[in-house]
Structures are given as C-alpha cells and as structure tokens.
Amino acid sequence: MARLKVTQLRSGIGTKHNQRESLRSLGLKRINDVVVKEDRPEIRGMIFTVSHLVKVEEVE
C-alpha cells in the first residue's frame, strides 16, 4: 500500500475549526512538521480539507 508524506507549510491559526482538527488528526502540530500516513480515503479527505496548508508527496 502506498504511503503519503505530509508536511505542514502554513499555520493553522485563523483557519476554520474543522481545518485545525484535521491538522491535529493528521499529527501535525507546527510548521515544518512531517508525518507519513497510509494512503486511505479517510486520510485523503483530511488532506483535501487542509490542502492549502500542507504539501503531500508519495513515498514507497
């Protein structure tokens, strides 16, 4: 199964509550935090919600 490397590029301050919760659920707490997650529909949905705050790369 593919994995996704998610890097937070922008702050969640001033964003909507659901966007801040998506960042927290992804495990991102501060700018430049990096997490590697399984490529699942739930994770893709959270990434879509905060796509303007994060950068996503596929990892083997």
Can you tell me the distance from the alpha carbon of 13 to that of 50, in angstroms, rounded to the nearest whole number?
A: 12
The domain of 49 spans: 1-57
- What pLDDT is attached to residue 29? 96
DSSP H or E segment with residue 54: strand 54-59
pLDDT in tens, 6-58: 999 999 999 999 999 999 999 999 999 999 999 999 999 999 999 999 999 99
Would you call 2 exposed, middle or buried from its count of C-beta atoms within 10 A (0-12, 13-18, 19+)? exposed
- What pLDDT is attached to residue 60? 84
State the CATH number of the domain containing residue 1. 3.30.1390.20
pLDDT in tens, 25-37: 999 999 999 999 9
Q: Would the pLDDT of 1 be above 90?
A: no
Count: domains in the chain: 1
